[in-house]
Amino acid sequence: MTSDRPPETVRAYLDQLRRALKGAPAGLIADALADTEDHLNNEIANNPDLKESEILASVIETYGTPQEIAEEYRDMEATIAGPFPKNEPTPQSRKFGFFNVISDPRTYGALLYMLLSLATGIFYFTWTITGIALSLSFAILIIGVPFALLFIGSVRVLALVEGRIVEGLLGVRMPRRLPSTIPPEGTILARIRDALTNIRTWSSMFYLLLMLPLGIIYFVIGVTGLAVSLGFIGGGLYALVTNDASHIRIDDVPVLAHLLHTAPGLILLVLVGLFLLFVVLHIARGIGWLHARIAEVLLVRL
C-alpha cells in the first residue's frame, strides 16, 4: 500500500523509484535511477511541445510506474548469478566457521584485492594529485575549465572502474554504468555547476586518494601474513621430509632452537603455520567486507 501520487515531474518519479527500491543494494538503486533519468530526459527532449506532466503521464502508461520499474529491477538482479553465493550460511556450516573460511570464494577475492591494492592505490593517488594540481594551474588560462571538466570526468570513470573491481573481487553490488550527470539544459555553466556541487565528485576523489594508504596497509598485511604462515608450513614440512632443520634457526631463544630440531617441534611449527594461515584468511575476509562498505559509501551516487 502506498500513498504516492502519480509523479508529474522527473524528480518526483525518481524519488518514488528510490523509495520503491529501499533496501536494495546501493549499486542497483544507482543504476536504476541513472537509467530511468536518461530515459525520462530523452522523452522530454523528444517532445518539446508537451508539458513535463503530460510526458510523465504517457511514460507511466508505456514505461511503467516507479513501483513497477523497481520490481522489474529486483527481478532482473535476482536472475543474475554473481561470483559469490547469495545465500546466508546455514546453522550447520556455522559450526566450523573458523575453518570454512578456506572454502569461501570471498576470502580469495579479498586477498587478491589486498595484493592488487598497492598498485591501484599508487595509480589512483598519482592521477588525482596530478589532475588537481594541473586543474589549479590552468585555472587562469582559457583551457582551465575544459581541463577541469575532463579531469572530473576521468575521476568518475576511475570510480566506475574501481567499482567493477570491488564488485568482482569483494562481492558487493556496485554501479555498472556512469551516472546521468549532464543537466537537461546541457549548457557549459550547468555542467560546471553540477560537477562542483555533486558530492560524489569529491567523495570519489577522496576515495582515490585514500586508496594509497589503504593499499599500503592491505598489501603489507597480505604479503607479511602469507609469507610468515606459508614459511612456517613449508619450512616445517621440508625439514620433516628431508630431516634437515638447519634452515630453521631461532638462536636468540635456545629452547625454541632445540625444539625446532626435533620432529614434534617441526610438527608444531607446521600447525602454528596452518593456524596463522587461517587467521590471515579471516583478516582478509574482514578487510574485504570493510572495504566494500567504504567503497559503497564513497563511490555510489544516489
Mean pLDDT of 131-152: 88
* pTM recorded for the entire structure: 0.82
Which has the minimum average pLDDT: 68-77, 127-136, 245-254?
245-254
SS3 sequence, the chain?
CCCCCCCCCHHHHHHHHHHHCCCCCHHHHHHHHHHHHHHHHHHHHHCCCCCHHHHHHHHHHHCCCHHHHHHHHHHHHHHCCCCCCCCCCCHHHHCCHHHHHHHCHHHHHHHHHHHHHHHHHHHHHHHHHHHHHHHHHHHHCCCHHHHHHHHHHHHHHHHHHHHHHHHHHHCCCCCCCCCCCCCCCCCHHHHHHHHHHCHHHHHHHHHHHHHHHHHHHHHHHHHHHHHHHHHHHHHHHHHHHHCCCCCCCCCCCHHHHHHCCCHHHHHHHHHHHHHHHHHHHHHHHHHHHHHHHHHHHHHCCC
pLDDT 10s digits, 88-127: 454 444 444 677 888 888 999 999 999 999 999 999 999 9
Reported confidence tier of residue 247, pLDDT bands at 50, 70, 90: low
Mean pLDDT of 278-283: 94
Reported confidence tier of residue 239, pLDDT bands at 50, 70, 90: confident
pLDDT 10s digits, 152-211: 989 999 999 999 999 999 989 999 887 765 554 555 666 667 777 788 889 999 999 999
Reported confidence tier of residue 57, pLDDT bands at 50, 70, 90: confident
Which has the minimum average pLDDT: 79-83, 89-93, 129-133, 191-195?
89-93
Mean pLDDT of the chain: 83
